[in-house]
Each structure stands twice: as structure tokens, then as C-alpha cells.
Structure 1
């Protein structure tokens, strides 16, 4: 928070903590995506959240990563608008499960990486 930056995992973990503090049920979701279009063999997990809206009796998936040129995620009650649409031709996967806790491999990568480069080298590619 001090530097006002972080990768998808840190942002999704923070969003879950804040919403849960407000008694809003929030879970963790993942996508398996190509890490770099220049080398489509490198896959990584992208972290996002699901928020349960009691008034609608449904989970809405949201992406806390933030928008930039070419990446636009939106909170939308009618249709899902995530930062990264899954490209099946690259064997990307959109996991639909809502987890109550963050993935252990993700947490281990965050805890065991001392630098951003360490983290990128240790990003999990599988759940």
C-alpha cells in the first residue's frame, strides 16, 4: 500500500480483505493465461475475485488489477467484463470455481519472493 502498486494477487487479496471487513462475502478466482504473447508456452495464473451479492443471489467476478491501455475490466451486473478474455486457441483456462482462501502456490510465491523479478520467476502456472 505504501507504494500504491502490486500485482493481481496482492490486489485481489487486499480487495477480499476490505470487502470481508464490510461483511461482503468475497472469494478468489483464477485464470490460466499466457504470460507473454512472444512465448506462448509460458503460462501463469491471474488472480481475481468473486463477490456474492445477496440481493441478486449470485456471485459477480471482478478484477482488481486496474485498467490501462488495452486492458479494461469493469464491474458489471449484467455481463462479465474481466481484464483478460480467455483465448482457448492458446489453451488458456477460465476457472469458474470461487475459493474461500487464496491458492497456496500463490501465497508461497508472494511470501518467498524478495524482489519483483523473483516473483515473476516464481509465478505459479497451475492451481
Structure 2
């Protein structure tokens, strides 16, 4: 479990800005479930999804996502992991393969989180952000995810990552704009 509590280059919860935000959320929410929900809703609702809002810069590191107020799903999951880990709540990164296009035969990766809850075990949460036809909520034991596998080839990978995939960090760090991420996203695999 220790690896899901560590601070690192991308899940940099020991940075001053992350520690301050994590402490603020903890002061206002005393139980484990209330704290997880507050962190989740902050990232889901207050950090804008880069594609939905057509925003630059492209962020990757949790502290940069917090500073800029924007990120793709992967970056938002890095921030959520950092806020929860700063509050001593084990949090993993997980990935999902989602079909897109009219025929639903092309795929891209999506990033979300798994959080360890004392009363429920590992629980999937997706801070991507709300959008018409996309609902994401925190109400254990029920998981409400915006992309539930429905088409052949779609899957939520079972592996829990303590650190982001190198392919994802390369994609985000090498991006010149949010559009360049979208152009390369279908080519990225784990």
C-alpha cells in the first residue's frame, strides 16, 4: 500500500501548493468518505478539462494542474492522487480503453483513479469532469463512471499504477497544445 502514498515527480504532493489545498480540504471534511468526496469534487468541478474548454497549457504534474486549473483526464487523475495521498489515503492511477468514432472500432486511453477506502476496499473514481451525457460521482459502494465499457474492445484495465505510464507523461510533456494531444492520443498505448 505504501507505493500508493508516495510523492513523486508527477504526483508531487509534497509541493507547497498541493499541501495547502489538501490541508484546506481536510479542515472542511473530517471523515474519510467526506474528504475523498471533497477532493474528488474539487478536481472534477474546479479543474477544467483541457479538451472540453480548449485550454492550454497542457499539464502533467499535479502541482501544475492545480496552478493552471486545467488538465486532460490523465493530469486531473494525477492531481486527485496527489491531494488524496497528501491526506494519507492510498490512491492509484488506472487506465481505460474507450471506443470512439461512428463505428466504435478505434480506441484511445483514458485515465482515472482507484482509491482505497477502509469500508469498501479499492473504489474507482473518475475526476474527468461533467459534460452532457457524461456523469461521474462518488457514492460508494456504487461506482458512477462516465465511460462504462459497452463496446467490443473497451476495458478498464485491472492494473493499479502508483506512477503514470511513461507513454502518457511523454504525450503530455511533448504536447505543444491541447490539439496536439488529441492528434496523438489514439496512437498511445500502455
The answer to whether the aligner puts 1:40 opposite 2:104 as a matched pair is yes
The answer to whether the 8 A contact 2:91-2:114 is kept is yes
Instruction: Give the superposition deviation at 1:3.
Output: 4.8
Match for residue 94 of structure 2?
29
Contact 1:43/1:125 (8 A) holds in 2: no
User: Quick check: 1-10 or 107-116, which moved more?
Assistant: 1-10
Shift of 1:38: 2.4
User: Runs of at least 4 residues of structure 1 off by over 4 A?
Assistant: none
How far apart are 1:78 and its partner, in Å?
Answer: 1.7
Map Cα deviations across residues 10-59 of structure 1 (whole Å, 9 max, x no partner): 1101111111111111100111012x332533311100001111x22611
2:146 to 79, 83, 86: 83
Partner of 1:103: 165
Count of residues in Structure 1 that have an aligned counterpart in Structure 2: 124
- The answer to whether 1:52 aligns with 2:116 is yes
Checking the alignment, whether the CA contact within 8 Å between 1:20 and 1:26 is kept in structure 2 is yes
**Which has the larger strand fraction?**
1
Greater percentage in helix:
2
Report the RMSD for the aligned CA atoms in angstroms: 1.7
* Cα separation, 2, equivalents of 1:66 and 1:93: 20
Q: How far does residue 116 in structure 1 lie from its aligned partner after superposition?
A: 0.9
**What TM-score, normalized to structure 1?**
0.87
CA contact (8 A) 1:30 1:45 kept: yes
Q: Within 1, Cα distance between the matches of 2:165 and 2:90? A: 17
Q: 2:125 aligns with which of 62, 71, 92?
A: 62
Structure 1, unmatched stretches of 5+, are none
List alignment gaps of at least 5 residues for structure 2: 1-65
Maintained 8 Å contact 1:8/1:47: yes
Distance in 2 between the 1:76 and 1:88 partners?
A: 25
Q: Which has the larger radius of gyration?
A: 2
